[in-house]
């Protein structure tokens, strides 16, 4: 993996209730519960959503993360996707 990316790099594509990496034989996920096709579309968009969010996110305007604003939420979700500790709580 490159650039610190631990997941299978995108783009991913939804095909019915399956999520695949186009052009290859890489199966990312299959969905079965609720709305499987809608869930597959959301999962397929994940790499692009993460990249877009990382492009918009920046540190909280407070010296210590407040844990309450949209910036803190965005940074916590990015950390979760990267397998790092989420820190939404103010000290």
Compute the distance between CA of residue 81 and CA of residue 63 in angstroms, rounded to an integer: 24
The whole-chain average pLDDT of the chain stands at 85
Nearest to 29, CA basis, from 20, 41, 16, 42: 20
**Section 1-21 average pLDDT:** 83
Task: Give the torsion sign (CA, 66, 51, 80, 16).
Answer: positive
pTM: 0.76
**Section 80-85 average pLDDT:** 86
Flag the least confident range among 13-22, 35-44, 50-59.
50-59
Secondary structure (3-state) at 13: strand
For 42-69, write each residue's pLDDT tens digit.
Answer: 999 999 999 999 998 888 877 677 888 8
pLDDT at 67: 81
Beta bridge partners of 88: none
Query: CA-based diameter of the chain, in Å?
Result: 47
pLDDT at 88: 53
């Amino acid at each position: 993996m490159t650039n610190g990316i631990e997941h299978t790099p995108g783009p991913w594509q939804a095909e019915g209730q399956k999520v695949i990496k186009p052009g290859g034989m890489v199966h990312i996920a299959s969905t079965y519960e609720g709305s499987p096709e809608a869930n597959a579309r959301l999962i397929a968009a994940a790499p692009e959503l993460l990249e877009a969010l990382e492009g918009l996110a920046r540190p909280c305007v407070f010296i210590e993360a407040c844990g309450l604003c949209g910036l803190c939420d965005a940074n916590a979700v990015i950390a979760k996707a990267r397998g790092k500790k989420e820190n939404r709580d103010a000290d």
